[in-house]
Amino acid sequence: MVTDDFAPDINWHVPGKVLSTEQKQFYRENGYIVIRNCVSMSELKVYNKRFQAICDGAPVHRGLSIVRDIALANKGVRNEERTVTKIQDFQDDSILFDYCKNPHVVDIVKDLIGSPESNLASMHTMLINKPPDAGALTSRHPMHQDLHYFPFRPADYVCCAWTAMEKVDRANGCLVVVPGTHRGKLIPHEYPKWEGGVNKAYLGIVDYDPSMPRTHCEMEAGDTVFFHPLLVHGSGANRTAGFRKAISCHYANDDWCHYVEVSGTSQQTAIDEVRDMARIRIKKMGADPSSVDEMEYTVFWQVRARAVNGTKSHL
């Protein structure tokens, strides 16, 4: 059972605006919950159209990152849907950021990490594309905890919404979660030693035990899984000829969350990766990449954070 010190500011014994008491208790016990038909097909079509346009070379805000599969990028294949694994940091893209403001999604997040009056901040945004695997199993994502990357706490007031943009199942690499692991601690992460290589920043839990009981979150388009940042999760390779897309946003309760110092802790591997990616991006813009070394890690997140509703304060 989860003790009373889990998100004590939330009343887990009454229904929320959207979720029943039973649904809230399921999340509290397991660290995740799947809500069916959460986002409409019409909205998903808009996001997919924007994704396709970006793959085709449409102009984007300079803060947005296009991440490609290492196995295909090394072959020189560029700007194609089958090479792009992520559209990351789309907080300044008005079309994709509409997902983060979806009223139904926001209300569910408030039920899990706040109240109807809570001010939420969008902290991390991704449109994740899992193309057909190139043969090296680089389309899989190691088991990990998202909190490894985040310099803000308390973790109980952070929640990810991850919406399937098309059918996701075990064949095309659905999300895999280990229920209850959100009640544990942050575990050290590093790059797994996979023969086919690992995509940039795909850090995984050190000495992950594959015998841990896992749940495969098979979903239809529009279904959304909400999960805690300490929940151990990952995804398998896409062994089909099609794609597996999802759009996601990490929310933090801006009334209760604040930045913390994580340099020199087990999160240093994430800090090093984020700085390295920032250097590459800044160099492409023609600026001095060494300027990244002078920035505090929290700054990388302050520039990402956007108020979803209400006002931005602590984050």
Whether 122 maps to a domain, the answer reads yes
Domain with residue 101: its CATH number is 2.60.120.620
DSSP character string of 85-154 = EEEE--TT-HHHHTTTT-HHHHHHHHHHHS-TTPPEEEEEEEEEEEPPP-SSSTT-EEEE-GGGG--EE-
CB distance 163 to 132 below 8 Å: no
d(CA 222, CA 204): 27
**Contacts of 19 by beta carbon, 8 Å cutoff, 6+ apart:** 27, 33, 108, 111, 112
- C-alpha dist (Å) from residue 35 to 70, 158, 290: 33, 18, 44
Q: Which of 141, 136, 196 is nearest to 173 (CA)?
A: 141
pLDDT of residue 6: 93
Q: What is the pLDDT of residues 122-179, one digit of tens each?
A: 999 999 998 888 777 777 889 999 999 999 999 999 999 999 999 999 999 999 999 9
Whether 294 maps to a domain, the answer reads yes
CB distance 130 to 173 below 8 Å: yes
Whether 238 maps to a domain, the answer reads yes
Whether 314 maps to a domain, the answer reads no
Sign of CA dihedral 83, 245, 176, 226: positive
CB distance 218 to 164 below 8 Å: no
DSSP character string of 54-90 = HHTT----TT-EEEE-HHHHTTT--S-TTTEEEEE--
d(CA 243, CA 84): 11
CB distance 96 to 90 below 8 Å: yes
Assign residue 57 a region (left: φ > 0; alpha: ψ between -120 and 50; beta: otherwise): left
CB distance 148 to 268 below 8 Å: no
Whether 104 maps to a domain, the answer reads yes
d(CA 185, CA 276): 26
pLDDT of residue 261: 96
Whether 36 maps to a domain, the answer reads yes
Please state the φ and ψ torsions of residue 125, each to the nearest 5 degrees: -125, 140
Beta bridge partners of 121: 252, 307
pLDDT of residue 3: 61
Whether 92 maps to a domain, the answer reads yes
pLDDT of residue 196: 63
pLDDT of residue 141: 86
Whether 103 maps to a domain, the answer reads yes
Q: What angle do CA 68, 69, 70 make, to 5 degrees?
A: 110
pLDDT of residue 165: 98
pLDDT of residue 276: 86
Pairing, β 215-217 against β 204-205: unpaired
The 10 Å Cβ neighbour count of residue 61 is: 11
Q: What is the mean pLDDT of each run of 10 residues along the chain (315 residues)?
A: 80 97 98 98 98 93 84 58 89 98 98 97 96 77 95 98 97 96 95 74 88 95 98 94 95 97 95 86 75 87 94 90
> 284 lies in which domain range?
21-309
pLDDT of residue 311: 84
The total number of structural domains that make up the chain: 1
Sign of CA dihedral 31, 254, 106, 60: negative
